[in-house]
Amino acid sequence: MTNSANQLQKPLTTKINDAGNIEIGGCDTVELAEKYNTPLYVIDEKTLRTICADYKKAFEKYPKTNIMYASKALCTSAIAAVLDEEGFGFDTVSGGEIYTVHNANVDMSKVLFNGNNKSFEELNLALDLGVGRISVDNFYELALLNTIAQSKNKIVDILLRITPGIECHTHQYIQTGHLDSKFGFDLTQIDDAIELILNEYTNLKLHGLHAHIGSQIFETSIYADEVDILCKELSRIDDKFGLKLDEINIGGGLGVKYTQGDNPPSTYEIGEIIINSLHKAIEKYNIDPPSLFLEPGRSIISTAGITLYTIGSSKQVPHGKKYVSIDGGMADNPRPSLYQAKYYAQIANKKETDELELVTIGGRFCESGDILIENAQLPKLDEGDILCVYNTGAYNYSMASNYNRVEKPAIVLVNNGQSEVIVKRETLDDLIRCDVIPDRLKKYE
């Protein structure tokens, strides 16, 4: 089976340069830290585009495949522009993501709006900007969307998001396809939803079914199970309602290699399993070949990203751990605190050595749980060293906060020795930009 770039722990372009420093995208990471300050998110464009190419090649045997980037992994205007150039559509989950991809001048007909509690304002925006599909999550949304569509005299193209009853072995917070989930219609509710669409909600046009089974998935058989369930439902709906749905959206969720012990499947392996399963299901249930949509996010962007930090204070607990602190932490990467996520790091400005020490990398935020990496084996660390944490392209900037009123880091795109800011570092003025002091509290001189 062909390997793919999503299985790498580091960006494709990672190497040690003549200065002995880690280099990514042809750029010395120590120089990046000096030029742009830290914490700093860095995205390697070559790795990102290579993973996109892997996905396209992995699914080329099924021409009716449409790949839609799951924007929640990392949504910026520049990243959207790169993915648009690669021919990808976009799975969005908020008005903000819709507005961001629109700002990148993407073809909005290739955008899907997904989510379990879309607001009136967000649905209104989606229709005004011409979003191609709305994945409807519940009965409340069906009614609301139909009302908005009627007010605009529009017919809205939709999918029904369903919970297929598949439970993957991942963290409970990132399981979405099992029956006890906040997302989607239960299989027993599909017929009631279709009855409403056919008889009452006539401004909605149903094209197919949408399911998503989780995130950071290493199992492969569950994709085959999901395809079978969706195709079976297409056949059953045709038999009962005479309604030929022609789209299935299987979501995303393919895992990545955060640590040496992680062994994610390649995009090629997943592609072969999904396509073979789809052909079998088409024959088994005697349906016309549907358009296949999938929504990779983490496996597109994660490996392309690193985060650079500067080492600060350290503390040796008597008869206990040695803590080394960085100038970032849970506000720019909440995943270790939220999911107990594991990461791999190296010192960017020190050559590999056999003389390693066991340290715990702590963040700068006022929480005991602000620990980035426990029990890391690293060379002796000094104040001012640059820590390079790998596989941080997904869900780091996306989930970042201003906890402790700390500014969010910049994002830099690197390629062929060039570095470009694609998200500016926040300033202190940015932090207070939306603050309002009532007149009665103001001090007048």
Q: Where are the alpha helices (DSSP H) in 111-220?
A: 120-128, 139-152, 190-199
> How many whole angstroms separate alpha carbon 411 and alpha carbon 306?
10
Annotation says 168 is catalytic:
no
Residue 109 CB burial class (10 angstroms; 0-12, 13-18, ≥19):
exposed
Say if residues 242 and 192 touch (Cβ distance below 8 Å).
no
Which residues contact residue 287 at a Cβ distance below 8 angstroms, ignoring those fewer than 6 apart?
Answer: 231, 234, 235, 238, 281
Say if residues 394 and 256 touch (Cβ distance below 8 Å).
yes
Pick the catalytic residue: 27, 168, 231, 366?
366
> ω into residue 11 within 30 of 0, thus cis?
no
Say if residues 408 and 400 touch (Cβ distance below 8 Å).
yes
If one counts every other C-beta atom within 10 angstroms of the C-beta of residue 64, the result is 13
Say if residues 363 and 289 touch (Cβ distance below 8 Å).
no
Q: Which of 388, 434, 424 is nearest to 16 (CA)?
A: 388
Say if residues 57 and 403 touch (Cβ distance below 8 Å).
no
Place of tokens 């914490």: 39
DSSP string, 76-124: -HHHHHHHHHTT-EEEE-SHHHHHHHHHTT--GGGEEE--SS--HHHHH
Which residues contact residue 188 at a Cβ distance below 8 angstroms, ignoring those fewer than 6 apart?
Answer: none
Say if residues 22 and 11 touch (Cβ distance below 8 Å).
no
Q: Which of 283, 284, 193, 299 is nearest to 240 (CA)?
A: 193
> How many whole angstroms separate alpha carbon 378 and alpha carbon 375?
9
Kindly report the backbone phi and psi dihedral angles of residue 266, in degrees, each rounded to the nearest multiple of 5, phi listed first: -80, 160
**Pseudo-torsion of CA 108, 114, 118, 120, nearest 10°?**
30
Distance (Å) of CA 395 to CA 101, 168, 206? 17, 20, 31
> Which residues are known catalytic residues?
366
